[in-house]
Chains A and B, each alone.
Chain A
Amino acid sequence: MSAYEPRRRGVHPVLLAELLSWIRAFGPYRWASNRFRDWGVGGRTAVIGLPYLWLLLFFLIPFIIVLKISVSDIRLGMPPYEPLLHWVEHQVVTLRVNLGNYAFLFEDPLYRNAYLNSIFTAGASTILCLLIGYPMAYGIARTSPSWRNLLLMMVMLPFWTSFLLRVYAWIGILKNNGLINNVLMAMGVIDEPIVMLQTDFAVYVGIVYSYLPFMVLPLYANLEKMDITLLEAAADLGCHPVKAFLTITLPLSVPGIVAGSMLVFIPAVGEFVIPALLGGPDSLMIGRVLWEEFFHNRDWPVASAVAIAMLVLLVGPIMILQYNQAKQGGAGGVHR
């Protein structure tokens, strides 16, 4: 984003002020704003209140509803769950909490495996992303400024194109008569196609590929800020570049590593599209299980319990990310 420029503006300010005074002169507006002022609601309250109310209604309350339904009983009909509060004889309210859905999650090996498999897959993909993304971010941060913008643009471009289509592209590459197998067979390296699609390998490739920009961008933001003179000092004192990297660059880039890793790990745990398109029937991930529970089994209470269990798992990583961002000053320096 370019800094302030007095002579070039996107919107003509006089025009805007004119428009504003028109709105102010508008009768209903004046009436409404006076009423609001009578109630002690000023502009400040409106600026805070409007997004606040929206988020409360459409983001926070839904989670409370999920929590509620996760302890309800399933029933046939719409909505397919029993209400928690039962009115008995118009007088007594009984509360029926059913923790059976959670017990079910713990007992059934399917859910346990999906849970552990998600953590493992997301964790391994995060490490792979870091291994591929770190040299990229490092390389971009150390190129000349004119190249840097181009390379950054090239990292961003896939991020702006359809996620779904980028996952789909791998089907054409990994399948039995796909690009990789065709090339390898033409070169005579293999005689039989290697089965890659619908395996865990394909899921890893898909996750690493889709989330790589989330790793590279925060790492780049961190590495770019680094003080190069530290490395110069180390070199002057006879430090080997590899040692200088390990003792100076790497420790200083830890906040970038943490931010990138969390930005990959958290969404990867709940990933649905990638295991559904690239994974086999046995590559179970918790997001896919939730989907199946909801859309195929129509068991809303169990799906809600799966969602809550996933949230509990993610609270830790989300807190780490928040803390890391707060320490870096300002919430969103990373996502630009």
Chain B
Amino acid sequence: MIGRRSFLVTTLMAFGFAFLYIPILSMIVFSFNESRLVTVWAGFSTKWYVELFQNEQIINAAKLSLRIAAINATGAVILGTLAGFALSRFRRFKGRTLMTGMTTAPLVMPEVITGLSMLLLFVAMEHMFGWPAGRGVTTITIAHITFSMAYVTVVIQSRLSTLDESLEEAAMDLGARPWKVFAVITLPIIFPAILAGWLLAFTLSWDDLVITSFVSGPGSSTLPLVIFSKVRLGVSPDINALATLMVAVVAIGIVSAGLYMQRQERRRERDVQAALAANQ
């Protein structure tokens, strides 16, 4: 059969998925392990979850990370939407090539380089203008916005490029001002993409270790910094519990997003069919 999977491809695919999921599953399983020895099963227990929630250092770091991630995501969505809009709607302007480069380079730039360059900028700025004074939440947020807005730009740009421009043109022909067209036509249509961009930017910030290490200061330990310093000393079961909670949140989010998209798809198909039937 053409276009169908062969037995070999199925086997290789299954192997690939096993490779992707065995580490995650092992973390989940051993987070419920009674023993401190992470790899020897000694009976079911939820004590590591209790210990996790009693660990003040981790809880505080998680709160800080949540705050930074939320501010970052909002800032990145605003700047990224503007950039994505500019790149897809304004075909030519001065320095367009440079802007394209600056919005795609952060996607692949090794984090150590971005982190180092950011820190050196902040040090130079402090030297010259006295701002930002020292490093902490502000510098972390600025650094995160800079690299995550590139991802938002890509998401928005690819959404706008598949959008039917005639809708916007029609609104413009009917006398709507550009800002109104954006607010009434474009924004509602690309809203799912904006939401996706927000979540992506949130995750990137929540997850970032390397860039944060460069630009953080005393008293601004985000969750990845705390995890990294803990993990360097060896495996600890409460980190397994933390990982399990994070996987659970992401899985719920992705599954519900998938179900929502599937429902939209079905609804659209039904609408198309209804429209076709009505026209006959």
Contacts of A13 in B (CB 8 A): 183-185, 188
Residue from A158, A164, A228, A272 within 8 A of B112 (CB atoms)? A272
- Asked if A87 is at the interface (CB within 8 A of a chain B CB), the reply is no
A154 touches B90 (CB 8 A): no
- Asked if B218 is at the interface (CB within 8 A of a chain A CB), the reply is no
- Asked if B34 is at the interface (CB within 8 A of a chain A CB), the reply is no
The SS class assigned to the B binding surface is: helix
Question: Given A11-B191, A55-B146, A132-B16 in contact, is the A165-B246 Cβ separation under 8 Å?
Answer: yes
B268 touches A5 (CB 8 A): yes
Mark each residue of chain B from 209 to 220: 1 if its CB lies under 8 Å from any CB of chain A, else 0: 110011000000
- Asked if B10 is at the interface (CB within 8 A of a chain A CB), the reply is yes
A55 touches B127 (CB 8 A): no
A interface, how many residues as a size bin? 35 or more
CB distance from A237 to the nearest CB of B (A): 12
A66 touches B117 (CB 8 A): yes
Q: Would you give 19 A-B contacts (Cβ < 8 Å), ordered by A?
A: A4-B163, A9-B189, A20-B180, A50-B79, A51-B86, A51-B103, A54-B145, A60-B98, A62-B117, A62-B121, A69-B120, A154-B20, A165-B242, A169-B26, A175-B39, A175-B235, A231-B3, A277-B232, A332-B157
- Asked if A188 is at the interface (CB within 8 A of a chain B CB), the reply is no
Extra A-B contacts (14), CB below 8 Å, given A2-B268, A4-B163, A13-B185? A1-B196, A2-B265, A3-B162, A51-B86, A54-B145, A54-B149, A65-B117, A153-B254, A157-B250, A170-B23, A267-B110, A303-B116, A331-B154, A333-B158
Contacts of B170 in A (CB 8 A): none
Residue from A10, A20, A60, A263 within 8 A of B108 (CB atoms)? A263
CA distance A43 to B82 in the complex (A): 11
Residue from A151, A172, A276 within 8 A of B39 (CB atoms)? A172
Residue from A155, A209, A304, A322 within 8 A of B23 (CB atoms)? A209
CB distance from A118 to the nearest CB of B (A): 10
A179 touches B4 (CB 8 A): no
Mark each residue of chain B from 115 to 159: 1 if its CB lies under 8 Å from any CB of chain A, else 0: 011101101100100000000000000110110010101110111
Interface residues of B in 238-274 (CB under 8 A from A): 239-240, 242-243, 246-247, 250-251, 253-255, 258, 261-262, 264-265, 267-268, 271
CB distance from B221 to the nearest CB of A (A): 14
A9 touches B188 (CB 8 A): yes
B interface, how many residues as a size bin? 35 or more
Contacts of B183 in A (CB 8 A): 13, 16-17, 20
User: Which residues on A are within 8 Å of B, measured CB to CB?
Assistant: 1-5, 7-11, 13, 16-17, 20, 43-44, 47-48, 50-52, 54-56, 58-63, 65-66, 69, 78-79, 132-133, 135-136, 138-140, 142-143, 149-151, 153-158, 160-166, 168-173, 175, 177-179, 182, 209, 212, 216, 228, 231-232, 235, 241, 262-263, 266-267, 269-273, 276-277, 287, 290-291, 294-295, 300, 303-304, 307, 310-311, 314, 318, 321-322, 325, 330-333, 335-336
- Asked if B83 is at the interface (CB within 8 A of a chain A CB), the reply is yes
Contacts of A173 in B (CB 8 A): 22-23, 26
A1 touches B110 (CB 8 A): no
Residue from A135, A157, A160 within 8 A of B12 (CB atoms)? A135
Residue from B15, B104, B255 within 8 A of A153 (CB atoms)? B255
B102 touches A65 (CB 8 A): no
Contacts of A43 in B (CB 8 A): 178-179
CA distance A142 to B6 in the complex (A): 10
Q: Which of B43-51, B66-74, B223-231 contacts A (4 or more CB under 8 A)?
A: B223-231
